[in-house]
A = this chain, B = another copy of it.
């Protein structure tokens, strides 16, 4: 059975303007790979409702899972929850279970659950809350979309909450062959081995460090025997 597929939607003007460097995409990519879910596409869009709705619809339809990051805080530009609801034609309002979490949290802190903070309890009908052990305000899963915060520490905690509940396929294995030769020198044997093992993904990544230049060949696949055989073949062609 092929691995489940996934897409990610990152929401935030601050990333598109270059002010903030996104960290969540790289983190999620690594976690999904460990879980045997294939991340197939990432989109980064601005805080514009029409763009968020359109990207959500397109990605949720094409892939088994959609993970979103950003736009679920208390300010006026946090419109992700409403956009996800719109994308799935679901109603949305302050929901009692989410409100109870926030009430308890702010009471503990001696802070008022004001109108702005209450926005974070807006959850679409039919969604399942995603636990936020860092700052309480929950994310949610609606259909195949998992909606999480943009703050990296919160995003990580939410990924840890939601990922074990999704069915992963066979975990993706990888092996690396480090060669002190240029990409142009190894391209031909690489192509030949890629043809021999069509189920593996074989990539080459040039490096140049401390006066040494070379190429890392990364083999990826779910079958350890194939990986080993392909690596041996490459070693024969390139080293011996």
Contact = CB atoms under 8 A, between A and B. Distances in A.
Interface of A: 13-22, 25-33, 38-47, 51, 73-77, 111, 114-117, 119, 151, 172, 174, 182-188, 190-191, 194, 201-206, 208-209, 211, 213, 218, 220
Contacts of A186: 75
17 contacts: A16-B38, A17-B172, A17-B220, A18-B28, A18-B31, A19-B205, A21-B26, A40-B45, A42-B42, A74-B187, A75-B187, A76-B191, A111-B184, A116-B184, A117-B184, A117-B187, A211-B211
Contacts of A220: 13, 17
Nearest to A202: B77
A18 B42 contact: no
B75 A183 contact: yes
A57 to B, nearest CB: 14
Contacts of A191: 75-76, 116
Copies in the complex: 2
A14 B203 contact: yes
A166 B211 CA distance: 36
A-B pairs with the 8 shortest C-beta distances? A116-B187, A18-B30, A18-B29, A76-B191, A42-B44, A117-B184, A21-B26, A75-B187
